[in-house]
Amino acid sequence: MAHQSIKIEPVAGALGAEVSGVDLTKPFDAQTVSEISGALFQHLVIFLRDQNITSEQYLGFARNFGEILPYPLVQGLDDFPDIVPVLKLPHETTNFGGLWHADTTYLNEPPMGTMLLARELPPRGGDTIWANMYLAYNTLSDGMKHMLDPLIAVFSSEKAGVTATREDRRNDAPKDDSGLQTTAEHPVVRTHPVTGKKVLFVNFGHTVRFRGMTEAESAPLLDHLFRHQTRPEFTCQLRWRPGTIAFWDNRATQHNPINDYHGYKRLMHRITLAGEKPY
Ligand code: OGA
Ligand code: MN
């Protein structure tokens, strides 16, 4: 197996880096994989450009970083059920996941990471933004950190905003979700299992309240945290090109795809990697 020496260039102050020097159509060795995962844990979201790879090559790349977790609510591709199409059609106006969120945090074991590979893009627009949840935690006051540290939050797949963003895809590729876990409880502040650093883990898409409190009681503080954690200086933005792969650490980031390309098609291929129960 060939060693491909990677180059890492940060794209913003808060997070995000382009990783170049890798061609996923060619063999790469364990050292290359470990450099890529090092870049992921350091920069939280990494971008690999011009990877015009097959679905097999894409799955083969993803499996180096963990076990694939099928997305619970939408069917995968016919031939590759572990790859989920994230699609917006020209006549549609909502985009999948079109609000700030971390992926499927209503599961007991939310994913460690997600990859998207851009297959078809609008001529302009359709960028995605990520935010750094280490920074979101670190920039809280000591008093707020102290108050949040012991709290548990309740997460749900049923928040109205988020269900609307997956309706179109549920309609054309429904998946039997009768056995799906739709709520989970996780620490508001979790410890990242690889870096050991603290992360502000609540997110607008899926967090409904603090455990032991009502939604109404939780709302003022949650709203404050949702606003705080997506401040522009905690974010980076990706201009996709066909063949761009974004790979994010779902434990330490949130993301939000910008819905500014009505009338055009956008198709991404998504692979999710299994994680663990947050602590
Ligand atoms: C997702 C998602 C963002 C995008 O697939 O989880 O949020 O840019 N997609 O399409
Ligand atoms: Mn998402």
Report the DSSP pairing between strands 17-20 and 45-48.
parallel
Euclidean distance between CA atoms 270 and 194, whole angstroms: 23
Sequence ranges of the domains in the chain = 7-273
Superfamily of domain 7-273: Clavaminate synthase-like (3.60.130.10)
pTM comes to: 0.96
Token pair of 239 as six digits: 């201009």
The amino acid present at 275, given as its one-letter code, is G
Q: Is residue 205 in contact with ligand 1, taking CB distance under 6 Å?
A: no
State yes or no: is 255 an active-site residue.
yes
pLDDT in tens, the chain (279 residues): 688 889 999 999 999 999 999 999 999 999 999 999 999 999 999 999 999 999 999 999 999 999 999 887 889 999 999 999 999 999 999 999 999 999 999 999 999 999 999 999 999 999 999 999 999 999 999 999 999 999 999 999 998 888 888 888 888 777 777 777 789 999 999 999 999 999 999 999 999 999 999 999 999 999 999 999 999 999 999 999 999 999 999 999 999 999 999 999 999 999 999 999 999
Q: Is residue 268 in contact with ligand 1, taking CB distance under 6 Å?
A: yes
Q: Which of 278, 227, 276, 239 is nearest to 69 (CA)?
A: 276
Nearest-5° angle of CA 125, CA 113, CA 132?
65
Residue in the block written with tokens 């761009």:
244
Euclidean distance between CA atoms 185 and 152, whole angstroms: 6
Run of H or E including 137: helix 133-138
- Please report the pLDDT score of residue 1 as a whole number: 67
Q: Which of 209, 255, 266, 269 is catalytic?
A: 255
Instruction: Please choose from 71, 87, 107, 116 the residue to mutate so as to test ligand 1's pocket, defined by most ligand atoms within 8 A of CB.
Output: 116
Q: Which of 40, 44, 190, 164 is nearest to 109 (CA)?
A: 190
Give the number of the atom of ligand 1 that is nearest the alpha carbon of residue 103: 6
Beta bridge partners of 72: none
**Torsion angles phi and psi, residue 39, rounded to 5:** -65, -40
Q: Which of 43, 82, 101, 186 is catalytic?
A: 101
Q: Is residue 72 in contact with ligand 1, taking CB distance under 6 Å?
A: no
3-class secondary-structure state, position 26? coil
Residue 233 in contact with residue 13, Cβ under 8 Å? yes
- Please report the pLDDT score of residue 86 as a whole number: 96
- Please report the pLDDT score of residue 178 as a whole number: 73
DSSP state of 192: P
